[in-house]
Each structure stands twice: as C-alpha cells, then as structure tokens.
C-alpha cells in the first residue's frame, strides 16, 4: 500500500468519524447514537477486563476451528467431485442448501441438535465450506486436460499429480476463496451466538448490551468484531500471499 493510498484512507475515515460525531451531537441521545469518543472509552474499558479476553478467545477459537474444518472438507469434496461425477451430483444438493439457508434459520435448526457452546463452529463451517468447495472445484475443472493426459502417459502417480499439477493450478482459487470468506465467518459465527447465547462469547455480550440498552457497549463489542475480522483477513493475506488492499 502506497503512502498516498494510506493517507487517502485515513482522511476518508476521519471524515466519517466527524460525521458520526456531528450526528451524535445533533441527536443528543446516547441510547440511540453514542459519540465516537464514548465508544472508544467503552472499548478501552473492555480491554481492561478479564471477561473481554475470555469471550474474544472463546469465540475466535471456535470460529477458526470451523473455518479450518471447512477448508479441509472442501478440498476433499472438491477433489472427489472432480474425479467422480456421481459424487459431484450426490453432494450438489447439500452445497446448494448450505449456500442458500439464512443464518438465522440455520442457527435455530442447529440448536435442536447441538449445544449452543459449539454453535459457532458449525455455522462457520457451513458458511465457508460451500464457497471454498465451489472455488476449488472450478480450479480443478479449469486444468488443461492435455496436461492430465500427459501425466498419465508418463505414469505419474496420483500423489505427484496432487502436488505438481492440482496443487499449483488450484492454489489461486483456494487462496482467493479463503481470503474472501475469512471476514464473513466471523460475522456469521457471532450472529449465531447472538441467537444461541453460549456462555463466554462475543454474541452473548452483544445480546446483553441490547438487553441493558447499553449502546456504547454494543458498539464497542461491534468494534472488536471488526478488528478481529479485518485482522484475521490481513493475517491470511500475509500468510497466503494474497493481494493487499
């Protein structure tokens, strides 16, 4: 990122903060729209509490676990879908359902079957898996058939094909899908927690802020979600070598 781009983003962000402050001064109702300084003060106060870190770590661990499982299962499913048409047709309805079902409906349905403590793991998995699967499968079917035929002529093992052909060709598709979904899984996971209300979670703290009409706390917790989501995405971009904004 160039210094010019960074300066431009800083100025735009500052303008929006000023607009926010002006609106807060006009409304003069903390319960409707607290000022940026009040939200920042609440956020700093949260940073000084033990419960804040317990909630952050608990929610983050579960969401990242679900995300990791989604990547693993998506890779396996995409490979078998590429190799076997019957398998592709068999799992296609599940992929379409996972893509289409609203988070709220999904969360309520899952609560009939699992404990609320594990809810964000399942929601993060269901949110991420079909998107990653679709991208990886698209990458696999885009591989030049002549390249595969040549590998078969020279009797290259499936293991070497996975590494030298499939892995190299599919990596851009996999990387882009992981980075794209990384921010969404945090939002989906926390949204599920707001419904399931597991103990020691960001979602439960958001819900409590709403119950007690504590708008500064609600926005401070929202700020923490944004930081987590953006930080996780930036980390993945750094590790996977994705393009930086």
Q: What is the mean pLDDT of residues 95-112?
A: 87
- pLDDT for 153 equals 65
Q: Reduced to 3 states, what is the DSSP secondary structure of residue 197? A: coil
Q: What is the mean pLDDT of residues 124-135?
A: 94
Transcribe 227-239 into DSSP letters: HHHHHHHHHHHHH
φ, ψ of residue 197 to 5 degrees: the values are 55, 50
Task: Retrieve residue 193's tokens.
Answer: 């927690």
Q: What is the pTM of this model?
A: 0.86
Maximum average pLDDT range among 113-117, 125-129, 149-153: 125-129
Q: What is the mean pLDDT of residues 15-22?
A: 89
């Amino acid at each position: 990122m160039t210094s010019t781009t960074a300066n431009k983003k800083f100025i735009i962000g500052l303008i929006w903060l000023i607009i926010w402050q002006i609106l807060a001064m006009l409304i003069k109702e903390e319960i409707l729209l607290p000022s940026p300084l009040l939200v920042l003060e609440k956020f700093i106060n949260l940073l000084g509490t033990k419960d804040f870190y317990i909630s952050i770590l608990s929610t983050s661990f579960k969401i990242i676990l679900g995300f990791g499982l989604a990547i693993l299962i998506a890779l396996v499913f995409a490979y078998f879908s590429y190799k076997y048409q019957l398998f592709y047709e068999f799992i296609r309805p599940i992929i379409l359902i996972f893509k289409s079902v609203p988070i709220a409906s999904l969360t309520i349905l899952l609560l009939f079957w699992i404990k609320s403590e594990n809810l964000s793991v399942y929601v993060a998995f269901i949110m991420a898996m079909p998107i990653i699967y679709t991208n990886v499968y698209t990458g696999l079917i885009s591989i030049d058939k002549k390249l595969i035929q040549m590998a078969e002529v020279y009797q290259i093992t499936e293991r070497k094909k996975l590494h030298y052909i499939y892995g190299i060709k599919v990596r851009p598709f996999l990387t882009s899908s992981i980075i794209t979904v990384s921010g969404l899984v945090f939002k989906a996971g926390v949204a599920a927690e707001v419904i399931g209300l597991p103990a020691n979670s960001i979602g439960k703290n958001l819900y409590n802020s709403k119950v007690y009409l504590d708008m500064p706390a609600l926005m401070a917790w929202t700020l923490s979600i944004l930081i987590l989501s953006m930080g996780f995405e930036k980390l993945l971009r750094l590790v996977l070598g994705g393009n930086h904004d």
